[in-house]
């Protein structure tokens, strides 16, 4: 868990405090940060230790095993492959690309994890800790108001879904650039976003299911929206016990493909294509005979949409193609509200020419957006957060025999 936490800290803040004993930090909170490269090494050391010493099978449902650690390692290796002193070098470390490939391959070939047949089934409470779930946050059922997993309350578009007032997601809608990116026939769209006319038998099940008829001018969130207590007795007001995925096997497949692609423009590697196309096949899409970075970016965005990964994908890209990533974000035209209309017969989204677009304010998009500032309350308590980072002293040898 510490290794995973530090992987997120590295991508959000870069230089952070590295600490192995919280008592020491409580006793002396005025501490220098360590450089981002050390934060990543700390992360990798923790995950490598877990990969070596955790059992190969989980001791109970929801418990991680060594392959969970290998999966997280594959993501961190892939990320660190692009990290360096030149954010626009355009190249990644072959050493860490190869490690990412090996870690992903370990999971795919040796672990007990298997892809689920139906994408929609991944996001149903009864399928918590399914065969594809490599690492997921476990939530208590029937939690008190505002405790445990409150995500549904912020995503559900109306009280007819939750059967109470904890449904505040009507205005949490898909950006048109997301929906326009779905290929026609992609089954993942309906499992992620509710569009006019979509039917969900697991919601309002006693009434024959729920049909989304809120509006044809937008799409609301479906993923992680599960219904009411009547649909599942484990759900209570503002508490839904559906697991939150931290890693699925599908992502490991895509990590393998990206690691094989590496610094090349395209790849037709047979194994990488096999894994990549298994994800597309489940989504109801045609296979590719070669894949590029753009293919992988697209597939990750569609496969993992609303699972909290896409921003980190952009940060990872910014490590070695920063200006390209800045330009990509700018070209999404987030400063314009484009009026759209969903056609339930053709299952397509189009620009609604009968309504005028409107502008909205956004922040400056430049290279500074990829790191968060330290909170002022923290820098007041610890002024050394603003000082130059100090290299961390690693006291133990790093594990090096994971792939022997």
pLDDT at 143 over 80: no
CA 304 – CA 251 distance, rounded (Å): 8
pLDDT at 327 over 80: yes
Q: Which residues of 296-318 are buried (b: 16+ CB within 10 A; e: fewer)?
A: bbebbbbbbbbbebbebbbbbbb
pLDDT value at residue 404:
78
pLDDT value at residue 237:
86
pLDDT value at residue 144:
77
Average pLDDT, the chain: 95
What's the structural domain count of the chain? 1
Summarize the confidence of residues 183-211 as an average pLDDT.
96
> Greater confidence, 333 or 74?
74
CB 216 within 8 A of CB 341: yes
pTM > 0.85? yes
* Digit-coded pLDDT (tens) for 348-402: 999 999 999 999 898 889 999 999 999 999 999 999 999 999 999 999 999 999 9
Specify if 28 maps to a domain.
no
pLDDT value at residue 284:
98
Which pairing describes strands 133-137 and 244-248: parallel, antiparallel, or unpaired? antiparallel
pLDDT value at residue 272:
99
Q: Which residues constitute the domain of residue 355?
A: 139-242+339-366
pLDDT at 197 over 80: yes
Specify if 285 maps to a domain.
no
Specify if 170 maps to a domain.
yes
CB 35 within 8 A of CB 9: no
pLDDT at 41 over 80: yes
pLDDT at 21 over 80: yes
N- to C-terminal Cα separation, the chain: 25
pLDDT value at residue 335:
86
Specify if 353 maps to a domain.
yes
| SS3 at position 136 | strand
Sorted by sequence, the CB contacts under 8 Å of residue 207 that are 6+ apart come out as: none
Specify if 377 maps to a domain.
no
């Amino acid at each position: 868990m510490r290794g995973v936490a530090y992987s997120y800290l590295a991508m959000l803040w870069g230089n952070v405090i590295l600490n192995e004993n919280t008592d020491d930090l409580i006793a002396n909170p005025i501490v220098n940060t360590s450089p981002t490269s050390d934060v990543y090494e700390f992360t990798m050391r923790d995950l490598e230790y877990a990969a070596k010493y955790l059992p190969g099978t989980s001791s109970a449902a929801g418990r991680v095993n060594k392959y969970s650690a290998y999966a997280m390692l594959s993501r961190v290796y892939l990320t660190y492959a692009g990290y360096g002193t030149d954010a626009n070098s355009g190249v990644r470390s072959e050493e860490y690309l190869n490690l990412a490939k090996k870690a992903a391959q370990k999971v795919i070939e040796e672990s007990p994890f298997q892809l689920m047949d139906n994408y929609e089934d991944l996001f149903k409470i009864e399928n918590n800790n399914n065969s594809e779930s490599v690492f997921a946050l476990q939530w208590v059922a029937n939690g008190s108001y505002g405790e445990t997993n409150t995500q549904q309350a912020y995503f559900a578009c109306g009280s007819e879904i939750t059967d109470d007032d904890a449904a505040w997601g009507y205005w949490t809608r898909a950006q048109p650039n997301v929906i326009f990116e779905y290929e026609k026939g992609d089954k993942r769209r309906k499992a992620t976003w509710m569009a006019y006319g979509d039917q969900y038998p697991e919601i309002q099940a006693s009434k024959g299911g729920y049909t989304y008829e809120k509006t044809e001018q937008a799409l609301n969130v479906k993923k992680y929206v599960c219904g009411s207590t009547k649909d599942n007795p484990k759900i209570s007001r503002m508490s839904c016990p559906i697991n939150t995925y931290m890693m699925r096997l599908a992502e490991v497949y895509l990590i393998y493909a990206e690691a094989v692609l590496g610094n090349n423009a395209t790849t037709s590697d047979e194994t990488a294509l096999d894994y990549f196309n298994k994800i597309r096949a489940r989504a109801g899409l045609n296979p590719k005979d070669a894949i590029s970075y753009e293919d992988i970016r697209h597939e990750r965005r569609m496969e993992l949409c609303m699972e909290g990964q896409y921003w980190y994908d952009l940060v990872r890209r910014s490590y070695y193609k920063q200006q390209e990533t800045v330009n990509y974000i700018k070209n999404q035209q987030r400063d314009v509200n484009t009026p759209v209309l969903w056609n339930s017969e053709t299952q397509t989204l189009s620009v609604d020419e009968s309504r005028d677009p409107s502008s909205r304010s956004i922040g400056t998009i430049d290279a500074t957006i990829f790191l968060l500032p330290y909170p002022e309350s923290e820098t007041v308590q610890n002024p050394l957060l603003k000082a130059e980072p100090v290299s961390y002293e690693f006291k133990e040898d790093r594990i090096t025999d994971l792939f022997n």
